[in-house]
Structure 1
Amino acid sequence: MADAKHAAPHKQSTPRSSKRKYAKRLQPADRREQLLDAALRIVVETGFTGVSIAAVAERGGVTRPVVYDSFGSRDELLEALIDRETARMAVAVARAVTDTAMTPDFGSAATEQLPAMLRHFLGEVCSMPDTWRLVYFPIDGVPSVLRERVAAARDELRAPLRQALGRWLAEQPDADGVDPDVLAQVVQGTIQTAAGLVLDHPDEFGVDRILALFDYVFFRA
């Protein structure tokens, strides 16, 4: 009989690790929104080059097959992201225009409505900074397939601005030689710069400071 001290040591059973955590089951539409939210954060933090099916799955706390169930490819996911954020911006622009036009305090003159509209819009921008950055700011590695979509989104967002500026020009007695299309491009670029300042340096460049410049340049100068 083998000496007890030479007997094979008894293996203590190690406790099993906790069961693998699975992502909460969501309806397909809700899952798509969750994954698009994850992709948006990745784009803002690292650029489009950081977006992959694996990266979105990890950020969303799901497996890659779950992502593929919602989006057939990375390109499809990014196209859906651009479409969603563009639609959000369009709603924000329309809300700024409509709410300002329906506010009695601003009257009907475009000279009164434009500054109020801009204030409202910058407020919308501040409430959805990631969307604004995705559509307007130069983000590294924008895939060529998306560049046309981003450009089209900017054109769509310029349309209500072009209309508002057209009404404002019609009220100016000496604006016959002003090209409204050129003006819309210039103002849109200025708004883009202003939004960048408000988002990146809110303590230094607040909305009131931006609006004071617009008021002087476009409505008083």
Structure 2
Amino acid sequence: MSPKQHRGEVTAEQLLDAALRVFAESGEQGLTVQAVTRASGVSMGSLYHHFGSLDGLVTALLTRWLERLLGEMVTALEQAESARDGVGALVRMYLAFIRDHRDVGMLLHSSRADQLGMRQARLLRDAQEARLTPLTAWVSGHVESGEIAPLPLSVLESLVLGPVVGVSRRWLTLGDVDLDEAARVLPDRIWRSVRADLG
């Protein structure tokens, strides 16, 4: 890597870190080009050079943290001995991630992230393909073994992650959810919805 490329990477990282700080301190309304450049000490021209726009910067920030989240999800599943254990590990890992990275959780579950996700869903999904493939393979393997119900992957994803995302959003916005209790209760409830034997 040339010195110029290294400087470019450092500048991009400064902007990403500053964007998360600004979001955490000022919320969605405060996340502006001016606020990010002021917080990072990087010029507006550099922000546009590296990311094209504020949406480009936010998309890159979301992609960075989605990649980390998905990586931890894969690790949790790979260490599980059964499909049921995997569902429990995934639920506990997700809730712990949100607790440990509250600012990131606020960003990942923000209306801005939802808007970008709706507009660029395929782009974001394609960017995470390397991380999604092991998740898909894990689910498919347990469907084939007869542990998980043979439902479309999109439905299984919604059944597993829907309740976890809902609890996370509520904890982040209202704070009236006990995440420890959720981590105890949700795995079994979710498992019942995806197990192959529903009897």
Structure of higher CA gyration radius: 1
Which of residues 111, 114, 119 is equivalent to 2:92? 119
Equivalent position amino acid for 2:92 in 1: R
In structure 2, the partner of 1:175 is: 149
In structure 2, the partner of 1:36 is: 16
In structure 2, the partner of 1:88 is: 65
Equivalent position amino acid for 1:40 in 2: L
How many equivalent pairs are there? 185
TM-score where L is the length of structure 2: 0.67
Do the aligned residues in 2 keep the contact of 1:198 with 1:206 (CA within 8 Å)? yes
The 5 A counterparts of 1:45-124 are 45-47=26-28, 49-60=29-40, 62=41, 66-72=43-49, 75-102=52-79, 106-107=80-81, 109-124=82-97
CA distance in 2, matches of 1:118, 1:172: 21
In structure 2, the partner of 1:196 is: 169
Equivalent position amino acid for 1:175 in 2: A
Q: Deviations over 1:132-191 (max 9, x none)?
A: 33333323995x7x7533564368477655544444444447935x33332223333222
Do the aligned residues in 1 keep the contact of 2:84 with 2:191 (CA within 8 Å)? no
CA distance in 2, matches of 1:93, 1:74: 23
TM-score where L is the length of structure 1: 0.62
- 1:89 Cα offset (Å): 1.8
Q: Deviations over 1:46-84 (max 9, x none)?
A: 32x543332223333x37xx2323433985343133223
More helix by share: 2
What SS does structure 2 have at the residue aligned with 1:41? Answer: helix
CA distance in 2, matches of 1:212, 1:141: 27
- 1:115 Cα offset (Å): 0.6
What SS does structure 2 have at the residue aligned with 1:193? Answer: helix
CA distance in 2, matches of 1:141, 1:110: 29
CA distance in 1, matches of 2:125, 2:171: 19
Do the aligned residues in 2 keep the contact of 1:100 with 1:116 (CA within 8 Å)? yes
Structure 1 unaligned segments of length 5 or more: list them. 1-25
